[in-house]
Structure 1
Amino acid sequence: MKYSKTLSIILFITMLKTAGVAQLVGPFDNYPVYTGKDLGVKYTPAKTVFKVWAPKASAVTLRLYDAGDGGGALSTINMVKGNKGVWKTVVDKDIKNKYYTFQVMQEGKRLLESPDIYAKAVGVNGKRGMVVDLASTNPKNWRNDKKPALKNFTDIIIYELHMRDISVDPNSGIQHKGKYLGLAETGTKSPDGEATGLDHIKELGVTHVHLLPCFDFNSVDETKPAAGQYNWGYDPLNYNVPEGSYSSDPYDGNVRIKEFKKMVQTLHQNGLRVILDVVYNHTSDIDHANFSQFAPGYFYRHNPDGSYSNATGCGNEVASEMPMARKFMIESVVYWAKEYHLDGFRFDLMGVHDIKTMNMISDTLHKIDPTIFVYGEGWTAGNSPMPEALRAVKKNVSKLHEQAVFSDDLRDGLKGGWGDLKEKGFVSGNTKMDESVKFGIVASIPNPQVNYDLVNYDKGPWASEPYETITYASCHDDNTLFDRLKISNPNAPEAELIKMDKLANAVVLTSQGISFLHSGAELLRTKQGVANSFNKPDSINQIDWSRKTKYKAVFAYYKGLIALRKNHPAFRMPFAKMINERLKFVNTGVPGLICYQISNHANGDKWKNILVILNGNKANQALKLPGGVWTIAADENTINEAGIKTVAAGNIDIASTSAYVLYSK
């Protein structure tokens, strides 16, 4: 029987009192809610307890195996149903490293054998769970693992990377290419002697590494490591298990856990915090998903006709508002935070999730560690039956508790709209983007000097505080920044494209909010014009480390901008009130020429006054300076906080397509 048929008969819409908004209510509302925190597999040498939530099952069978794939079951155990839809059994002996599956009988039909949704270790390709002694997977001195210090969220500078991209280039000098251990290697160099991998990231100076999905995903066959398979990993299989293809041995469920922890520990030791990209908004395959083997239909949203809703563009969307789905999401991130010492979570298509769930996630994480950073995409990929007023979309960010969303206003203001690759942005001379850039500079907060009527997307502020805005020019999605600029400026020589690229991230790194960089942007990364490269080969996706030598001056410029931001708290003010008091735009009278002054030792900065001048025009522009003596700390080529030169009040010539930073003491 198709569950959508059942739903089409009994699903209906009613009015809920919550927020006074219409919401979907369906047949799953009468499912029991289990509040215990012991679902899954709990191991001790004396016994292992198995508990799963399968509220409508007529029987649940546990099978134990010697291996993660192949071979017959060592034993078959019928589980016992208890309260609130929970089935339980206990094996009273040491079964460490044995593998297992559950199989549910429901409505006279046997569902698929699968791990439980809480599985913490699995065999190859994640088809069987593994009984794991987590303490034995800890690297040496794991208990003493110490996170790098973090005072304010606005101090964060994020570097988004893909586990395979960062190391798989033959010229990376990294031994464990495409692996967790590859990111944990130090002392690696390109053939030209330039630092690569972890040492490169450390040299660049960012504060946080954002890992594209590293939980166990569905699209890469872990039995074929030599096949060079590639995926970004936005197709979840086992949410609480590291992906096996990034480990040195995907067959042994312990190895991926040990190596992931070793990577986190090494990143922490090198001054970098670690963020995991999480994808709770959908699963890769409804029929085969673990969710569907224990409570078919429950974990997904449905349209009024009973069909699966699809706000993710992936064929389904997880119903985060359902109590057991909400419970799972909260307990999953808590597990990653505690067991793997993670420092943040980036939520894919966060706009699919309901506000209540996201706030419960944030509040729970911040009780564990108030410096854990939570952010995500404040949009969806399609329409959802859940009303927008209840979802964690960008316009509702002020209702969220200490969470941030990406500013597509600034992103597309800088380089041009995502829907029209030929459209130019501010850095390519489009003067119609000035207000969008100004909106980004003040981190999307209310500001009297921004003309919201001229902002590209949002016609009003959506952030209440600067830590709610991720300021960026590019990420893994769509074309790299350098490729995008080439597409929209097909006749521009490379030297001009480089100036545009540098200006774009100069804006990002001098703006308020939280800075975000796509890995390799500092090397003018190219994916050869391929935008959605989620399943393309390494030849498209890998970071080409020879570009660090070829574009050494660009790397030095990015590195200098990051140091400038870190050394000067005026660029990372923590409160909207402070920004509006200390940051004032100067009317240049020239379209495409943005100037603002940050005054009076803002946020405790050692520089009394800072002047930032952004020239998106293709021609040099003259600007009259405020009175006094000013020191140029950054121009189109150089970042030098000690001063490139000093200039007195009067006109200053600002080079085309460039950013200047000046200060007075």
Structure 2
Amino acid sequence: MSPDRPTAAVPGLLSPALDDLGVTLHDGGGTLRVWSGRAESVELVVFDDADLDWSVADVPLTSVGGGVWSVTSELLRPGARYAVRADGPRGSGDTFNRGTLLIEPYSRGLATGDGYEDWRSVVVDRGFDWGEVRKPGTPMDRTVIYEGHVKGLTKRHPAVPPALHGTYAGLAHPAMIEHLLELGVTAVQLLPIHAFATEPRLLQHGLANYWGYNSLNFFSPHAAYATEENRRRGADAVLREVKGMVKLLHQAGIEVILDVVYNHTSEEGIGGPRTSLRGLDNRGYYRQQDDGTYIDVTGCGNAVDTSTDAAARLVVDSLRYWAEDVQIDGFRFDLAATLGRDAGHVFTPEHPLLQTILSDPALSGVKKIAEPWDVGMGGWQTGNFRPGWHEWNDRYRDRVRNFWLSDIDYARRAGVTPVGVGGFATRLAGSANTFTAERGPLASVNFVTAHDGFTLHDLVSYDVKHNIANGEQNRDGADTNRSFNHGAEGHTTNEGILAARRKAMRNLLGTLLLSAGVPMLTAGDEVGRSQRGNNNAYCHDSPLTWLSWDHAEWQSDLKAHVARLIRLRDENPALRPVRYARRGEHVPSASIMEWYDETGRTMSDERWNDSTKRTLQYVASSTPENEERNRILLIVHGSEHAVSVTLPEIEAADRFVRVWSSLDERPLTEVTEHAPGDRIDLPSTGMELFRVESVNPPG
């Protein structure tokens, strides 16, 4: 263990006995170290360079203690294809089979033959010239995340050369970088790029695992996203293409965040494929009952048992590798609650793995984003992770959708909205009822849509899911979407409905990008991409899920709104506080928030929950350490009934400069100035953003 890592009171997962697992190259070959706590023998199998089915050597590994097996061989050189196999007891929960060739868990590259389980590990030369390029290091308060799929982003991009369509290199092409910079996003968050496989069930239906949440290996990049040329050259070239993508994005100032799936693997339930961990030590790597039955808290057939030191260390070492060797800027942890389950399978935020991820020096500058739930008992943990973690905020998603969509739908049917504006205001201001003061608003990763669920366009165009094409009789995918079709299900030529949908999208985007917290935008939502009502398109590798770059005028207008909102967020620190304000106290890097009703008077307590009162004025004033004081006024009107809003009389506010409105089909080209006491008419739902200015600012 390197001297800069903590040595006092470290959990067992940082034991030196687990150091240097995988292949370490040195003069005269390499050393392979593999963990299997229950194996009775482990072998290295090396294959011919040209034929993955032709083994050239079988070499036994020696037990060196702590469950680790080791061998040094001149055959372990860059480019070598190899596998491991293990034999052991035949008791319940053990699945050893000496005849099964297994992926070595720390493989940095993979090669594959014709069969589903015909995988070989590859010894990779990890060298790469990063030059003077460094990680951008974007502060969290200035971070705007763009969640996308490596293939889907560029597969149809007309300015990206066809040879680069759907590839790592394509994502780093100047045309894609230009798009990201025009929007103003600061980070791309990529759906899984760890090597993954399509489930046999999907293959039987002629479908594919497009999203990639079915990991084969936690170190190897998914080779199918590399260019054809680099795939032919082998695992070294695939890894260099990934690093080249990261380098070019970093040169443009854009961070790369990976969606990582450490909670389960592609080996599925008992009877599923035996490709790696199951064959090495099923008991040691997967959560089980005493009789060997899997404890599946992920819904994917198995759950990695991070209460064992070796399984937890596998996760930590993978993170270190991607953060250091590949220069990745952050990770979004799929079903992170699973990673925090102890030996009794109960979630604890003090879990050694979660704490090690926070404290490990190799991960100190890395963004750590938890999807804070899984499908097991006690699996919903939003708000319960420790300081240093950021979390997908599903409470934010649901409240914002309710306010702009399902509440409006309800009002059309019942004549009155079901709730007032109070809950929405809490989310707008940073979800202080969910996250502790120590963590602050930046603990919340705000989102309205994600890869999983309706796109933004479909959220405002469909009342129900349309997933028949998934082959599961429309049973899959969420049934509660809080969506609203605005009067017609799916496609329509009714201009009134289409206009209402466009405005609803602008209201949702405006809320997302003007809320306190860290916004996450789903790729394609900036241009109103549709999946024709499919809210679980994980199995479609087709134009249904690939972004289209042929945009109608309204789509270009929507993109311009997104770019304007992101720029306004960047220019106005009052919109991105780091801490929660406390009444009567000066809190550096917080925003002081004041709330007014449509008459310009301070919001009364009873109005917050009055379902007939859906209008508020929100004044946020920054208290930054090193920036000029900044104030904004945001008007929110959550009813289809017209309202006339009187701008408030507030201290040191001489004028309100209107800088954005969701009522406009195209973003404002000229700002307008208004005085305190002026009236702003809103004919229906909408948002208006003003910059508060003073002729003689205080202090």
Q: 1:133 aligns to what?
A: 125
1:84-123 alignment to 2 at 5 Å?
A: 84-92=66-74, 95-107=77-89, 109-110=97-98, 112-123=100-111
Indicate yes or no: 2:452 matched with 1:480.
no
Which letter maps to 2:635?
Answer: I
Q: Secondary structure at the match of 2:154?
A: coil
Q: 1:358 to 1:107 in 2, by over 3 A?
A: closer
* Conserved 8 A contact 2:645-2:681: yes
* Conserved 8 A contact 1:275-1:343: yes
Q: 1:362 aligns to what?
A: 357
Task: Kindly state the Cα deviation for residue 565 of structure 1 after the two structures are TM-superposed.
Answer: 0.6
Task: Kindly state the Cα deviation for residue 461 of structure 1 after the two structures are TM-superposed.
Answer: 7.1
Q: 2:181 aligns to what?
A: 202
Residues in 2 aligned to 1:425 and 1:184: alpha-carbon distance in whole angstroms: 45
Q: 2:505 aligns to what?
A: 501
Q: 1:621 to 1:231 in 2, by over 3 A?
A: same
* Conserved 8 A contact 1:39-1:51: yes
Q: Secondary structure at the match of 2:282?
A: coil
Q: 1:404 aligns to what?
A: 390
Q: 1:537 aligns to what?
A: 541
Task: Kindly state the Cα deviation for residue 552 of structure 1 after the two structures are TM-superposed.
Answer: 1.2
Task: Kindly state the Cα deviation for residue 541 of structure 1 after the two structures are TM-superposed.
Answer: 0.3
Q: 1:95 to 1:358 in 2, by over 3 A?
A: closer
1:411-490 alignment to 2 at 5 Å?
A: 411-416=397-402, 424=409, 430=417, 432=419, 434-446=421-433, 464-487=439-462, 488-490=484-486
Residue of 373, 376, 379 corresponding to 1:382 = 376
Residues in 1 aligned to 2:51 and 2:643: alpha-carbon distance in whole angstroms: 67
Which letter maps to 1:615?
Answer: H
Q: Secondary structure at the match of 1:233?
A: coil
* Conserved 8 A contact 1:64-1:74: yes
Farther-moved stretch of structure 1 (256-265 vs 163-172): 163-172
1:139-154 alignment to 2 at 5 Å?
A: 141-150=129-138, 152-154=139-141
Q: Secondary structure at the match of 1:610?
A: strand
* Conserved 8 A contact 1:394-1:405: yes
Q: 1:601 to 1:631 in 2, by over 3 A?
A: farther
Task: Kindly state the Cα deviation for residue 505 of structure 1 after the two structures are TM-superposed.
Answer: 1.3
* Conserved 8 A contact 1:220-1:231: no
Q: 1:596 to 1:434 in 2, by over 3 A?
A: same
Residue of 182, 185, 197 corresponding to 1:218 = 197
Residues in 2 aligned to 1:281 and 1:426: alpha-carbon distance in whole angstroms: 41
* Conserved 8 A contact 1:81-1:87: yes
Farther-moved stretch of structure 1 (536-545 vs 108-117): 108-117
Structure 2 unaligned regions, length at least 5: 1-10, 91-96, 341-348, 463-483, 489-496, 582-586, 599-606, 694-699
Q: 1:290 to 1:631 in 2, by over 3 A?
A: same
Which letter maps to 1:281?
Answer: N
Q: Secondary structure at the match of 2:283?
A: coil
Q: Secondary structure at the match of 2:239?
A: helix
Residue of 140, 143, 162 corresponding to 2:149 = 162
1:131-176: CA deviation from partner (whole Å, max 9, x where unpaired): 12211xx2xx4142212242x3122100000011101126454431
Residues in 2 aligned to 1:359 and 1:154: alpha-carbon distance in whole angstroms: 23
Q: 1:181 to 1:230 in 2, by over 3 A?
A: farther
Q: Give RMSD over aligned pairs.
A: 3.2
Residues in 2 aligned to 1:466 and 1:587: alpha-carbon distance in whole angstroms: 24
Q: 2:593 aligns to what?
A: 583
* Conserved 8 A contact 2:141-2:442: yes
Task: Kindly state the Cα deviation for residue 581 of structure 1 after the two structures are TM-superposed.
Answer: 6.0
Which letter maps to 2:324?
Answer: K
Indicate yes or no: 2:631 matched with 1:609.
yes
Residues in 1 aligned to 2:426 and 2:14: alpha-carbon distance in whole angstroms: 47
Residues in 1 aligned to 2:425 and 2:521: alpha-carbon distance in whole angstroms: 19
1:191-236: CA deviation from partner (whole Å, max 9, x where unpaired): xxxxxx3321121100110000001001189xx9xx9955100001
Residue of 511, 514, 534 corresponding to 1:510 = 514
* Conserved 8 A contact 1:443-1:463: no
**Length-normalised TM-score, structure 2:** 0.79
Task: Kindly state the Cα deviation for residue 468 of structure 1 after the two structures are TM-superposed.
Answer: 0.9
Q: Secondary structure at the match of 2:303?
A: coil
Task: Kindly state the Cα deviation for residue 591 of structure 1 after the two structures are TM-superposed.
Answer: 2.3
Q: 1:342 to 1:309 in 2, by over 3 A?
A: same
Residues in 1 aligned to 2:179 and 2:161: alpha-carbon distance in whole angstroms: 12
Which letter maps to 2:370?
Answer: G
Indicate yes or no: 2:680 matched with 1:652.
yes
Task: Kindly state the Cα deviation for residue 530 of structure 1 after the two structures are TM-superposed.
Answer: 0.7
* Conserved 8 A contact 1:598-1:609: yes
Q: 1:156 to 1:548 in 2, by over 3 A?
A: farther
Farther-moved stretch of structure 1 (404-413 vs 428-437): 428-437
Q: 1:61 to 1:147 in 2, by over 3 A?
A: same
Residue of 227, 237, 243 corresponding to 1:261 = 243
Residues in 2 aligned to 1:69 and 1:421: alpha-carbon distance in whole angstroms: 58
Residues in 2 aligned to 1:204 and 1:238: alpha-carbon distance in whole angstroms: 34
Task: Kindly state the Cα deviation for residue 306 of structure 1 after the two structures are TM-superposed.
Answer: 4.3
Task: Kindly state the Cα deviation for residue 256 of structure 1 after the two structures are TM-superposed.
Answer: 1.5
* Conserved 8 A contact 1:614-1:658: yes
* Conserved 8 A contact 2:34-2:104: yes
Which letter maps to 2:592?
Answer: R
Farther-moved stretch of structure 1 (164-173 vs 99-108): 164-173
1:525-562: CA deviation from partner (whole Å, max 9, x where unpaired): 11111110001131210111112655111111110000
Indicate yes or no: 2:256 matched with 1:277.
no
Which letter maps to 1:144?
Answer: E
Residue of 634, 639, 656 corresponding to 1:630 = 656
Residue of 279, 282, 287 corresponding to 1:296 = 282
* Conserved 8 A contact 2:52-2:120: no
Residues in 2 aligned to 1:426 and 1:517: alpha-carbon distance in whole angstroms: 28
Indicate yes or no: 2:219 matched with 1:240.
yes
Indicate yes or no: 2:38 matched with 1:56.
yes
* Conserved 8 A contact 1:171-1:544: no
Structure 1 unaligned regions, length at least 5: 1-28, 189-196, 447-457
Q: 1:490 to 1:503 in 2, by over 3 A?
A: closer
Task: Kindly state the Cα deviation for residue 608 of structure 1 after the two structures are TM-superposed.
Answer: 4.0
Q: Secondary structure at the match of 2:354?
A: helix
Q: Secondary structure at the match of 1:502?
A: helix
* Conserved 8 A contact 1:250-1:256: yes
Task: Kindly state the Cα deviation for residue 655 of structure 1 after the two structures are TM-superposed.
Answer: 4.6
1:170-209 alignment to 2 at 5 Å?
A: 171=158, 173-175=160-162, 176-186=164-174, 188=175, 197-209=176-188
Q: Secondary structure at the match of 2:285?
A: coil
Which letter maps to 1:269?
Answer: Q
Task: Kindly state the Cα deviation for residue 594 of structure 1 after the two structures are TM-superposed.
Answer: 3.0
* Conserved 8 A contact 1:480-1:531: yes
Task: Kindly state the Cα deviation for residue 587 of structure 1 after the two structures are TM-superposed.
Answer: 3.6
1:90-135: CA deviation from partner (whole Å, max 9, x where unpaired): 1136732110011101127426211211111111378111112211
Q: Secondary structure at the match of 1:128?
A: strand
Task: Kindly state the Cα deviation for residue 31 of structure 1 after the two structures are TM-superposed.
Answer: 12
Residues in 2 aligned to 1:425 and 1:348: alpha-carbon distance in whole angstroms: 33
Q: 1:623 to 1:100 in 2, by over 3 A?
A: same
Percent identical among aligned pairs is 24
1:561-584: CA deviation from partner (whole Å, max 9, x where unpaired): 000011111111111234876012
